[in-house]
Amino acid sequence: MMRLLSLVSLLLLPTTVTASDDFLIEELWVRAAPPHMTMTAAYGAMRNNGTDPLSVVSVSTSIADRASIHETQLRNDRAMMRPVAALSIAPGQQVTLEPGGLHLMLMKLTTPLEIGQSANICFMLETGDSVCADAQIRRQAKHGGHHH
Ligand SMILES: [Cu+2]
């Protein structure tokens, strides 16, 4: 009976392979974190190449126990982060995840993140499709970036 149950739960797992050609993830990268750090953020771009709106409802990765979409807002000259429950992307729209704006918050890191390595991050869509992409672990954004 136990064996049957575990088989059933396997079959119910969402697909982890790209199931939607309309949803593209580009330039995904994770900010490197020294061993004592418990959280970091990931950035990149998401694009809806389809004709219908799509919605990203959650993210997950093996390098962190908790992953979520965050937005940064200025309140009284202070940057505040808060979770975004679902991120809607209109047909043809590109959404950029960048330092100081929308980002993927990775909390309770399960491993040190060393520069040059990569990590897999999966995006769960409202449709139930899950799209995964490799993220490069870097110190900062590719095009130089600037420090604040
Ligand atoms: Cu955040």
Q: What does the pLDDT look like over 88-99, one tens digit per residue? A: 999 999 999 999
**148 Cα–ligand 1 center, Å:** 16
**59 Cα–ligand 1 center, Å:** 13
Q: Is the pLDDT of residue 16 over 90?
A: no
pTM for this entry: 0.80
**105 Cα–ligand 1 center, Å:** 5
Q: What does the pLDDT look like over 27-46, one tens digit per residue? A: 999 999 988 899 999 999 99
Q: What does the pLDDT look like over 136-148, one tens digit per residue? A: 999 987 765 454 4
- Secondary structure (H, E, C), the chain: CHHHHHHHHHHHCCCCCCCCCCEEEEEEEEECECCCCCEEEEEEEEEECCCCCEEEEEEEECCEEEEEEEEEEEECCEEEEEECCCEEECCCCEEEECCCCCEEEEEEECCCECCCCEEEEEEEECCCCEEEEEEEEECCCCCCCCCC
**28 Cα–ligand 1 center, Å:** 16
Please give the pLDDT value at position 13: 44
Please give the pLDDT value at position 34: 85
| Mean pLDDT to the nearest integer, 127-133 | 92
**103 Cα–ligand 1 center, Å:** 6
Q: Is the pLDDT of residue 10 over 70?
A: no
Please give the pLDDT value at position 140: 82
* Average pLDDT score, the chain: 86
**41 Cα–ligand 1 center, Å:** 7
Q: What percent of the chain has pLDDT over 70?
A: 82
Q: What percent of the chain has pLDDT over 90?
A: 70
**117 Cα–ligand 1 center, Å:** 22
Please give the pLDDT value at position 74: 87
Domains, the chain, ordered by start: 15-137 (2.60.40.1890)
